[in-house]
Amino acid sequence: MDFNDSPEEAAYRAKVRKFLDANATLRDPNKSKGNMLDEAEGDVIDKAKAWQALKTEAGWACLRWPKEFGGQEASAMESVIFGQEESRYDLPPSIYGIGHGMLGPTIMAHGTEEQKQRFLPDMVKGEEVWCQLFSEPDAGSDLAGLKMSAVKDGDDWIINGQKIWTTGAQYCKWGMLVARSDINAAKHAGLTYFAVDMEDPGIEIRPIKQMNGGSGFNQVFFTDVRIPDSNRIGGVGDGWRVAITTLMNERSSIGSGGMGGGGGIKDLIELAQKVDRNGRPAIEDGGVRRKIADFAVRRSGLKYVGQRGLSALSQGQTPGPEASIGKLIAAIMGLEMGAFGMELQGAAGVLSGSDNPGATVWQNTYMSMPGLRLAGGTDEILRNIISERVLGMPGEPRMDKGKPFKDIPTGTAR
């Protein structure tokens, strides 16, 4: 058991730091990094693109990818080391997580040679940003219940329908889309997967205003959008298998650290030292002390669950189910910690923004964590994954197996 880098890892880390020191400045570690529910504002898109271009030029982009597509064929651990180091610097938020983490690997697994050459090198360089068009108003956890229609017309497909929860649709050049190409086929058999040019006519993007006031996501409406058959990824009717590749990559990237944002244990202790409870500093109250201790225990557990995943990578193994546990615990605990920070602030805990004389990280966390509990696999789906895939318990009884999709009830019935 050894927490330190191996000599090779240490040498690689030093190389990474040299590059970063020369091109970026360290971030104030007390400043929150933001999370997936935040919208990209101002010129951050341009800055993010410039940083990606610089990384590509210097040979630090898409480290794990094959060299023929612009990657470096680095090991998983090297890629993790780069990520760890990069997160210490004051850099624009990554707008490439979905493309590089999920869609690129999907094209590598299922795309034609032509598609790989057309899409992957540009994806690395970052001029073209990608988004994911999977969820629909009636198909979230039950993704295979999606209804967006794809109808073959000559060499094109005509797409109609609505997608939702699309991060970054407004600044993306390309999207990855799953649509229903055969409504008479069984539910999972009638789907086909496409790459779609987001600048095509017939695509309308509307931001979703979240309950916390932010707009990190969009609805995307498709009206008679034409996609050439050459942009179909995988076979007709094989879209579910292709989508699974994407989703498997999502779970492994979402769980990887830095989740939840919000205040830490130190912040809670400092707050409890400042505010009163029963005429004494709240930090002297037994209930407050026990609660903070419990948060700290879970936080450290999460941290070392992550470290065990990294350790598996470092040893050349595939990390286990750590990713699912990470998000499940981080989101629930984030919500509880936000609520407890507000509790310590007393009546003023409901004040938000600059009208709160204290810190508002707790209110922000409280208002964003319900979203994190749903994004990238709801708590319930994650528990299904843990119980079924990790523990080997039986799947749920299904009412939708072996029937044509058109005969299966979907969505909200009233």
Partner 1 sequence: MNFDFSEEQKLLQNTAREYLTEHSSLTHVREVLEADAGYNKDLWKGVAELGWLGVAIPEEYGGAGYGYLELVMIAGEIGKALAPIPFGSTVYLAAEAISREGDAAQKKQYLTGIAGGDLIGTMALTEKVGTLTQKSIDATFSDGKLTGTKLPVPDGDSADFAIVLANEGDGQSLVIVDLSAKGVECSKLDSLDATRPQAKIEFNDAPATRLGAAGAGWTIAQSVLNRAAVMMAFEQLGGADRAFDITFDFIMNRYAFGRPIGSFQSLKHRMADLYADRELARSNCYFAAWALENDDDELGVAAASAKISASDAFENMVIEMIQMHGGVGYTWEYDCHLFYRRAKVLAHTLGTTDEWREKLIVKLIEDAA
Q: Is 386 in the site for partner 1 (CB under 8 A)?
A: yes
Would you give the distance in Å from CA 185 to the centre of its chain?
Answer: 31
Q: Residue 18 or 266: which CB sits closer to partner 1?
A: 266
x/- map, 252-291, partner 1, by CB under 8 A: -------------xx--xx------------x--x--xx-
| Residue that has been written with the tokens 């539910």 in this structure | 187
Q: Is 388 in the site for partner 1 (CB under 8 A)?
A: yes
In eight-state DSSP terms, residue 410 is -
Window contacting partner 1 (CB under 8 A); options: 24-32, 176-184, 194-202, 391-399: 391-399
The token pair at 22 is 């020369």
SS (H, E, C) 365-380: HHHHHHHHCCCCCCHH
Q: Residue 357 or 394: which CB sits closer to partner 1?
A: 394
Closest by CA to 205, choosing from 195, 215, 213, is: 215
Q: Is 142 in the site for partner 1 (CB under 8 A)?
A: no
Closest by CA to 365, choosing from 39, 35, 94, 27, is: 35
CB of 300 to partner 1, least distance (A): 5
For residue 226, give every residue at least 6 positions away whose Cβ sits within 8 Å of its Cβ, in sequence order, or none.
153, 156, 157, 158, 159, 200, 202
CB of 244 to partner 1, least distance (A): 20
Q: Is 297 in the site for partner 1 (CB under 8 A)?
A: yes
In one-letter notation, the amino acid at residue 303 is K
CA distances from 101 to 175, 191, 218, 345 (A): 14, 22, 20, 39
Q: Residue 209 or 266: which CB sits closer to partner 1?
A: 266
Q: Exactly one of 79, 160, 384, 410 binds partner 1 (CB under 8 A); which one?
A: 384
CA distance 285 to 303: 27
Q: Residue 88 or 383: which CB sits closer to partner 1?
A: 383
For residue 224, give every residue at least 6 positions away whose Cβ sits within 8 Å of its Cβ, in sequence order, or none.
158, 159, 160, 202
User: Which residues participate in catalysis according to the annotation?
Assistant: 250
Q: Is 397 in the site for partner 1 (CB under 8 A)?
A: yes
Q: Residue 86 or 379: which CB sits closer to partner 1?
A: 379
Residue 289: beta bridge partners? none
CA distances from 161 to 133, 149, 334 (A): 11, 6, 35
Please give the residues from 306 up to 335 whose contact with partner 1 meets the rule CB under 8 A. Answer: 307-308, 310-312, 314-315, 322, 325, 328-329
Q: Is 186 in the site for partner 1 (CB under 8 A)?
A: no
Interface with partner 1: number of residues (CB under 8 A) = 52
List interacting residues with partner 1 (CB under 8 A).
1-6, 9, 77, 265-266, 269-270, 283, 286, 289-290, 292-294, 296-298, 300-305, 307-308, 310-312, 314-315, 322, 325, 328-329, 380, 382-384, 386-388, 390-391, 393-394, 396-397
